[in-house]
């Protein structure tokens, strides 16, 4: 039996996130949301299409999307 | 994945000091990706910057970097390149740094066609010093020194670069990140003065004063108002009105400065050995 626990598709580095809101405003499937400080949270990870719009437009290098199309 | 480009950053210096939503980080990532794509040797790549928000980038990049005086980044970079033409030299500069106080260095480096890659972060304002209008603030735009709107006309810096003799001129923006990476990458391949204007969004000093909305709104504005040159060539005139052309605007070949300089040196060496 494989012990492959499904990795969340999006890794967030909260220490670098400044809560600018670019990622969750641009996310086409609303995978991302904001916490009470305006920082990014993963709300619906299963809806992620790995389009990488959040990763490409995060000015703080705080989001990485694993898998998907190579940029 | 940030892990793929992490080696090019001084991660102990992160997070950076740029404001929330500032596009400078997006453009820096594109520069680094272009360097990786071109396979440049990290130890033979030098990044030079002047003064301003964008010029803080050298502090975060894990190359040999020079953070120089206001407007003089291209002058320092010229010195680095002439001293060791083997090096890949990049200049990161802002609209105030490059077009105002550094305007003279800029046009003469373009005229000489010295092999530098200049990337100008155009956020239309002097962000670091508190929002004064710059030579690239649009007419009518507000700044702390233009509370009733800017009455001056801005530079079209790409046309200025072409007029001054740059051999590669391109424009990109911080929304179309793949295009930006590609045009910087093509600029690296050009042997000569390569200039890339990257439209940046300053949501704090420019955006607030000019009611541009949030950082995401400013990126969407870039998406709606930029048109790639290839697409524009196929469109009727009325659809191009008010759009900013992006992509490679000019690409020609001309003798490169350090090569010409080397030819003089070898000519004298030959003459001396024959004597």
Q: By mean pLDDT, which of B72-76, B171-175, B184-188, B241-245 is the weakest?
A: B241-245
Calpha distance B237→B175 (Å, rounded): 24
* Best mutation target, B2, B4, B32, B175, to test chain A (most A CBs within 10 A): B2
CA distance B26 to chain A (A): 5
Over pLDDT 90: what percentage of chain B? 91
Provide mean pLDDT across the span B95-112.
95
pLDDT value at B58 more than 50: yes
Q: What is the mean pLDDT of residues B39-56?
A: 95
What CATH number labels A10-65? 3.30.70.20
> Is the distance from CB of B169 to CB of B162 less than 8 angstroms?
yes
CA distance A38 to B21: 12
Question: Under a CB-based contact definition with an 8 Å cutoff, are residues B183 and B197 in contact?
Answer: no
pLDDT 10s digits, B217-267: 999 999 999 999 988 989 888 888 889 999 999 999 999 999 999 999 999
SS (H, E, C) chain B: CHHHHHHHECHHHCCCCCCCCCCHHHHHHHHHHHHHHHCCCHHHEEEEECCCCHHHHHHHECCEEEECCCCCHHHHHHHHHHHCCCCEEEEEEEHHHHHHHCHHHHHHHHHHCCCEEEEEEECCEECCCCCEECCCCCCCCCECCECCCCCCCCCCHHHHHHHHCCCEEEEEECCCHHHHHHHHHHHHHCCCCEEEEEECCCHHHHHHHCCCCCHHHHHHHHHHHEEEHHHHHHCCHHHHCCCEEEEEEEECCCCCHHHHHHHHHHHHHHHHHHC
| pLDDT surpassing 70 at residue B61 | yes
Q: What is the mean pLDDT of chain B?
A: 94
Task: List CB contacts (< 8 A) between A25 and chain B.
Answer: 214, 216-217
Query: Chain B: residue nearest A39 by CA?
Result: B20
Average pLDDT over residues B112-120: 96
pLDDT at B193: 96
A44 at interface of B, judged by CB pairs closer than 8 A: no
Q: What residues of A are in contact with residue B208 (Cβ under 8 Å)?
A: none
Taking Cα atoms as reference points, which of B101, B110, B104, B7 lies closest to residue B55? B101
- How many alpha carbons lie under 13 Å from residue B170 in its C-beta half-sphere? 26
For chain A, the structural domain boundaries read: 10-65
Q: Give dist(CA A4, CA A71) in Å, integer.
A: 25
Quote the minimal CA–CA distance from A4 to chain B in Å.
21
Superfamily of domain B22-274: Thiamin diphosphate (ThDP)-binding fold, Pyr/PP domains (3.40.50.970)
Nearest CA in chain B to A27: B216
- The interface pTM score, or ipTM, of the predicted complex is 0.87
Contact at 8 Å (CB) between B196 and B170?
yes
Q: Which of B24, B205, B201 is nearest to B119 (CA)?
A: B24
Show which residues on chain B lie within 8 Å of chain A, measured between beta carbons: 1-3, 9, 14-16, 18-26, 29, 33, 174-175, 177-178, 203, 214-217, 219-220
The separation between the first and the last C-alpha atoms of chain B, rounded to the nearest angstrom, is 60
Mean pLDDT of B46-59: 95
Tokens of A67: 């898998």
For residue A2, pLDDT beyond 80: no
Residues of A in Cβ contact (< 8 Å) with B25: 58-61
| pLDDT the model gives residue B54 | 94
Looking at residue A67, what is its pLDDT?
A: 76
Query: Looking at the predicted structure, is the pLDDT value of residue B2 above 90?
Result: no
pLDDT tens digits for range A12-64: 999 999 999 999 999 999 999 999 988 999 998 888 888 999 999 999 999 99
Nearest to B121 by CA among B206, B238, B208: B206
Would you kindly state where each structural domain of chain B is located, as residue ranges? 22-274
Model confidence at A69, in pLDDT bands (50, 70, 90)? low
Q: How far apart are CA B186 and CA B184, in angstroms?
A: 5
Rg (CA), chain A: 12
Q: How high is the pLDDT of residue A70?
A: 52
What confidence tens digit (pLDDT) does each residue in B106-115 have? Answer: 999 999 999 9
Task: Give the model's pLDDT for residue B274.
Answer: 80
* Nearest neighbour of B20 by CB, restricted to A15, A19, A71: A19
> What's the confidence (pLDDT) of residue A1?
45
Strands A32-34 and A40-42: antiparallel
- Residue A42 contacts B, CB cutoff 8 Å: no
Confidence of residue A6 (pLDDT cuts 50, 70, 90): low
State residue B208's pLDDT score. 93
Q: Which two tokens stand for residue A47?
A: 């809806």
Rounded to an integer, the average pLDDT of B113-127 is 95
């Amino acid at each position: 039996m494989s012990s492959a626990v499904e990795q969340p598709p999006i890794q967030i580095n909260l220490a670098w996130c400044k809560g600018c809101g670019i990622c969750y405003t641009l996310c086409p499937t609303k995978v991302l949301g904001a916490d009470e400080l305006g920082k990014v949270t993963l709300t619906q990870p299963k809806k992620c299409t790995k389009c990488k719009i959040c990763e490409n437009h995060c000015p703080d290098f705080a989001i990485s999307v694993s898998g998907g199309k190579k940029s | 994945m940030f892990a793929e480009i992490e080696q090019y950053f001084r991660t102990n210096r992160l997070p950076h000091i740029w404001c929330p939503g500032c596009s400078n980080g997006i453009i820096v990532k594109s520069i680094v990706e272009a360097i990786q794509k071109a396979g440049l040797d990290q130890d033979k790549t030098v990044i030079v910057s002047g003064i301003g928000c964008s010029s803080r980038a050298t502090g975060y990049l894990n190359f040999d970097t020079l953070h120089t005086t206001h407007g003089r980044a291209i002058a320092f970079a010229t010195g680095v390149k002439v001293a060791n033409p083997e090096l890949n030299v990049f200049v990161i500069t802002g609209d105030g740094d490059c077009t105002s106080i550094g305007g003279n260095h800029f046009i003469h480096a373009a005229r000489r066609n010295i092999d530098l890659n200049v990337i100008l972060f155009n956020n239309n304002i002097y962000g670091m010093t508190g929002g004064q209008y710059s030579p690239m603030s649009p007419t009518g735009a507000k700044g702390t020194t233009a509370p009733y709107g800017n009455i001056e006309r801005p530079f079209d810096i790409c046309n200025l670069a072409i007029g001054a003799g740059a051999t590669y001129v391109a424009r990109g923006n911080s929304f179309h990140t793949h295009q930006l990476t590609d045009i910087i990458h093509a600029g690296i391949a050009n042997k000569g003065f390569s200039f890339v204007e990257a439209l940046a969004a300053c949501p704090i000093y420019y955006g607030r004063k000019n009611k541009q909305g949030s950082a995401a709104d400013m990126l969407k504005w870039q998406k709606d108002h930029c048109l790639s040159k290839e697409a524009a060539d196929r469109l009727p005139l009325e659809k191009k009105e008010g759009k900013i052309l992006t992509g490679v605007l000019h690409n020609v070949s001309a003798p490169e400065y350090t090569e010409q300089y080397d030819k003089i040196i070898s000519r004298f060496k030959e003459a001396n050995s024959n004597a």
